[in-house]
Amino acid sequence: MLPAALRCALLTPWLLALSAAAEPASCVAPLRPAAAGPVPAASSPARLAALPVVRFAGVEYVSLREAAALLGMKTSWAEKERRLTLLDQAGKAEFEADSREISLHGLRLFLGKAVLLRNGALYVSRIDFERALATRLQPAVLGAPPSRPRVIVLDPGHGGNDNGMENKRLGLKEKVLTLDVAQRLKKLLEVRGYRVVLTRNDDRQLGPDKPTDFKKRAEIANRAGADLFVSIHFNSLYPDTKTSGTETYTFTREFQRSDRAASPLEPDDTEREPAPVNRFDPWSALLQQLVHREVIGSLKTLDRGQKTMHSAVLRELDCPAVLVESVFVSNDGEANRVATAGYRQQIAEAIAAGIQAYADTLAALQPKPPAAPAVSPPSSQP
Ligand SMILES: [Zn+2]
């Protein structure tokens, strides 16, 4: 986590960045207020603001039935007053009372707050609905999407003295694997016409200590005018060598605990202020969903879920962002696979497919140019 002094004091409400109708939000030119001021509480985009909000224990919730109606989705109880399914042509989401975990389009997703059962109805927190669910269920719901991405910044995790996670038995270092996957991914994206910037292109640290290193990575992305940011890592749980699978992360949504601190038994790590990257939560959510889908679909790895963390490398970004932990280097089976160039190419291709799916979704959401007025033939004068 970055010290408070490094945090951006000039925070733009995400609503402004995402719903300025006259100028669709772009990471290239984020809107910023002229002077520092208190950070306003999250506002709801116009369409979502129509949803009635109720408070339970001081937290704002929305009814899943009313949310489904707003999105034009059907609901049905998989188990009365316990498990509710929302569905439409695009897919379905399955919610269970008292659980943070939901299944969305067949993928695992962890909400910041558990689903609540009250008076025979299920509720999700307003922040979860607006920032984690709405764009995943219906990308058009916010009305004004960011412009189609052109500049993509890839962040190979670790480097220099920081090896990242290591599988010493197999002689694997995370910093080497992340750079290799990022360089492969760069080529794949450049072929598709994107401008791609790497936060590091060789074996180096970007600062004398971790906070500076993280800050520099975000600075490179912001200076490059990144339209999206993908940080590449590999997972490890030593001394556990059994755990395997794929996790993806976005920055923790404002006023929520990260997944690591989700249990009430853990210290509460909720942050008092939103981070700059929180302005893009709904689009980071969509990017995460599509990258997660492609990586798991391609590698056939165990789905360990879409999660959040207070990642210092994501905090200061001016664009949607996701961090990918495709496999575990502490699991010899997955480590043996990732030791091969073919498997690392497969990881790069899967992430590229996820990015492309995100770009295609945004392209489909762009407002259509007004039709040219019909030119009527000159009337013939008698
Ligand atoms: Zn890492």
- Which string of DSSP letters, residue by residue, matches 76-117? EEEETTTEEEEEETTEEEEEETT-SEEEETTEEEE-SS--EE
The pair of three-digit structure tokens given for residue 289, joined into one six-digit string: 């969903």
Least confident of 34-43, 230-239, 285-294, 372-381: 34-43
- CA 302 to ligand 1 centroid distance, Å: 19
- CA 180 to ligand 1 centroid distance, Å: 14
Over the stretch 320-368, which tens digit does the pLDDT of each residue have? 999 999 999 999 999 999 999 999 999 999 999 999 999 999 999 998 8
Look up residue 72 and give its DSSP letter. T
Task: Tell me how far apart the alpha carbons of residues 196 and 129 are, in angstroms, rounded to a whole number.
Answer: 32
**Is the pLDDT at 88 greater than 70, yes or no?**
yes
How do strand 59-63 and strand 54-56 relate by DSSP bridges? antiparallel
**367 cis-preceded (ω within 30 degrees of 0):** no
**SS3 label, residue 57:** coil
- CA 288 to ligand 1 centroid distance, Å: 17
How high is the pLDDT of residue 369?
Answer: 78
Average confidence (pLDDT) over 227-233: 98
In DSSP terms, 55 is beta-bridged to: 60
How do strand 107-110 and strand 101-104 relate by DSSP bridges? antiparallel
What is 47-142's CATH number?
Answer: 3.30.457.10
- CA 174 to ligand 1 centroid distance, Å: 7
Whole-prediction pTM: 0.86
Percent helix, strand, coil in the chain (nearest 5)?
35, 25, 45
* Superfamily name with CATH number, domain 151-365: Zn-dependent exopeptidases (3.40.630.40)
**Is the pLDDT at 42 greater than 60, yes or no?**
no
Sorted by where each begins, the domain ranges of the chain are: 47-142, 151-365
- CA 167 to ligand 1 centroid distance, Å: 13
How high is the pLDDT of residue 144?
Answer: 82
- CA 62 to ligand 1 centroid distance, Å: 36
Expressed in angstroms, the distance from the first to the final Cα of the chain is: 81
Angle between helix 341-365 and helix 281-299 axes, rounded to 10 deg: 140
